[in-house]
Amino acid sequence: MAYHKISDDVKQAAIHLLEHNLLDLRNILDCCGFSKWMWCQVLRLWRETGDVMNHPTGIPGWICHLVNEDIDCLVQLIHDNPDYFLDEIVKLMKINCFILVHFLTTFNELEQAGMG
């Protein structure tokens, strides 16, 4: 079977059907379009977290580097607020400069600017 996205509400409905003995597993798999492997993953996730959607942690992708204007804004914020922690600087970047940036990126850029 080719990969296809199964919506979270279908996954929750399938779990409801099984938990309330409304359909047997074979009929649930046929009706919802699950493979046995997919069903095991959904059921495991449901039992472990109470949710059918996996919420990955961390930041996927490449490490982000800020452009010069963003770095200028960051440096200015540091000069204006030298006692702030990284999470506070990240919030100020979002509010004042409209820049969404992870605190690790902020730390790396400050280190590159010689402020680390």
Q: What is the pLDDT of residues 63-86, one digit of tens each?
A: 556 778 888 888 888 888 888 888
User: Is the whole model's pTM more than 0.85, yes or no?
Assistant: no
Helix, strand, coil share (%) of the chain residues, nearest 5: 60, 0, 40
By percentage, how much of the chain surpasses pLDDT 90? 2
Sketch the domain layout of the chain as residue ranges: 8-49, 68-113
At 32-50, the pLDDT tens digits run 888 899 889 888 888 888 8
pLDDT of 57: 58
* b/e map 65-100, b = 16+ CB within 10 Å: ebeeebeebbeebbeeeeeeeeeebbebbeeebebe
